[in-house]
């Protein structure tokens, strides 16, 4: 009987500790940077080319227009990803579009919401720096806690995708 009580108390403490992580860190921001040996025109064009997205975002399936013209501020898009047989949808609303300089959007999915601001900076005529700042907020205490636990994994995965984009462009 004593073992059951101790187990129950430990379980309750673990659950509270897990939920406390989401309360302490309900949202977070992270930054990714990659330097690409290619002109900003080519980097921006490849980044924006939907037909090439799967080459640097392996789980990307396709995107669908919900409303608005392509790349227009305020336009909304459904991005569909497939991972381990599971379909994941992300709604994206364009908040900034400055050709060769900036692409920004708000995003909304079942577990989280957030925004990303991507800047393209020409270092010189043959080198571009891509920098992305992402802010994420989990929805509900469980998701906030899971997001807090997954922050480093999410940041690393984003960095890997930008590095895959770099490798794709530099291989051309």
* Distance, first Cα to last Cα, the chain: 68
Please state, in angstroms and rounded to a whole number, the distance separating the CA atoms of residues 118 and 155: 15
- The secondary structure of residue 100, as a DSSP letter, is T
H helix count then E strand count, the chain:
4, 7
The number of domains in the chain is: 1
What pLDDT digit, counting tens, does each position of 53-96 carry? 999 999 999 999 999 998 899 999 999 999 999 999 999 999 99
pLDDT recorded at residue 13: 64
Q: What is the mean pLDDT of the chain?
A: 89
**Domain region containing 52:** 2-170
SS3 content of the chain, % helix, strand, coil (to 5): 40, 40, 20
Read off the CATH number of the domain in which 86 is found.
Answer: 3.30.530.20
Q: Are 22 and 144 in contact (CB under 8 A)?
A: yes
Which range among 90-99, 103-112, 121-130, 139-148 shows the weakest confidence by mean pLDDT?
Answer: 139-148
Dihedral sign for Cα atoms in the order 137, 142, 148, 153 = negative
Please state, in angstroms and rounded to a whole number, the distance separating the CA atoms of residues 116 and 105: 6
pLDDT recorded at residue 1: 72
Mean pLDDT calculated for residue range 14-32? 71
pLDDT recorded at residue 105: 98
pLDDT recorded at residue 20: 61
pTM beyond 0.95: the answer is no
What pLDDT digit, counting tens, does each position of 142-163 carry? 666 667 767 888 899 999 999 9
Mean pLDDT calculated for residue range 30-38? 98
Q: Residue 102: which of 128, 121, 78 has the closest Cα? A: 121
């Amino acid at each position: 009987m004593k073992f059951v009580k101790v187990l129950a108390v430990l379980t309750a403490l673990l659950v509270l500790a897990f939920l406390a992580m989401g309360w302490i860190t309900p949202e977070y921001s992270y930054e990714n940077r990659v330097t690409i040996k290619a002109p900003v025109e080519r980097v921006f064009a490849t980044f924006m080319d939907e037909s090439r997205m799967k080459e640097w975002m392996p789980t990307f399936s396709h995107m669908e227009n919900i409303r608005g013209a392509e790349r227009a501020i305020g336009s909304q898009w459904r991005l569909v990803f497939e991972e381990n047989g599971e379909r994941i949808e992300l709604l994206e609303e364009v908040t900034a579009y400055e050709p060769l300089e900036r692409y920004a959007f708000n995003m909304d999915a079942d577990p989280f919401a957030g925004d990303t601001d991507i800047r393209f900076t020409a270092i010189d005529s043959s080198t571009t720096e891509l920098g992305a700042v992402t802010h994420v907020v989990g929805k509900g205490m469980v998701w906030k806690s899971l997001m807090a636990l997954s922050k480093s994994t999410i940041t690393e995965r984003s960095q890997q995708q930008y590095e895959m984009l770099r490798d794709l462009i530099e291989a051309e």
